[in-house]
């Protein structure tokens, strides 16, 4: 089972491609962040993210997509733009025939640490205990995308035929 998991954003868009084999072992295949230029228009940034996401899906051929639900903060413009980014991701997921799964920050925290009020450092310290990370992860957005994928595998039952 191959999954692409997403931490949506438009400054930095975190993603991870994770496999889970029939024995339940999880393997991080590829992860990273798509960074956009703050000087570009939002539409240009959305196009860049969408194009790169489509290329990642074409290259790695996942069968499912997991995404974090939107956490509303006090900045409404940011919330609206992240919401539009999520919509684009869900559209691309359906376009490629992927099964779609969404998880709240609370579900992710519980799945990774067992505690719904865990902080970012606790989540980041737990992830390497759940899946092997080779290479350096620079941004929280990438850690978040990996956490979304691990949450999906913890919550869903997949048919491995």
Q: Is residue 70 part of a domain?
A: yes
Domain presence at residue 161:
no
By three-state DSSP, how is residue 111 classified? Answer: helix
Catalytic residue flag (residue 140): no
Number of domains making up the chain: 1
Q: Which of 68, 140, 142, 156 is catalytic?
A: 68
Contacts of 83 (CB under 8 A, 6+ apart): 70
Is 144 an annotated catalytic residue? no
The whole-angstrom separation of Cα 42 and Cα 33 is 17
CATH number of the domain to which 29 belongs: 3.30.420.10
Query: Is residue 160, in this structure, part of any structural domain at all?
Result: no
Q: What is the pLDDT of residues 7-41, one digit of tens each?
A: 999 999 999 999 999 898 999 999 999 999 999 99
Binding residue numbers = 7, 68, 141
Can you give the pTM of this predicted structure? 0.94
pLDDT in tens, 116-158: 999 999 999 999 999 999 889 999 999 999 999 999 999 987 6
Known binding-site residues for Mg(2+) equal 7, 68, 141
Segment holding 99, helix H or strand E = strand 99-103
For residue 52, is it within any domain? yes
Establish whether 7 is a catalytic residue. yes
Tell me which residue range forms the domain holding 143: 2-155
């Amino acid at each position: 089972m191959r999954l692409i998991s997403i931490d949506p954003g438009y400054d930095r868009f975190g993603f991870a491609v994770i496999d889970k084999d029939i024995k339940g072992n999880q393997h991080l295949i590829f992860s990273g962040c798509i960074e956009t230029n703050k000087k570009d228009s939002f539409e240009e940034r959305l196009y860049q993210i969408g194009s790169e996401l489509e290329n990642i899906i074409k290259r790695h051929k996942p069968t499912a997509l997991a995404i974090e639900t939107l956490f509303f903060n006090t900045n409404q413009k940011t919330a609206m733009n992240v919401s539009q980014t999520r919509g684009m991701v869900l559209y691309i997921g359906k376009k490629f025939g992927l099964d779609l799964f969404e998880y709240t920050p609370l579900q992710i925290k519980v799945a990774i640490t067992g505690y719904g009020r865990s902080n970012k450092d606790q989540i980041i310290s737990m992830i390497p205990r759940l899946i092997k990370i080779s290479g350096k992860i620079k941004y929280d957005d990438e850690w978040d995308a990996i956490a979304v994928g691990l949450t999906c595998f913890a919550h869903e039952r997949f048919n491995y035929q």
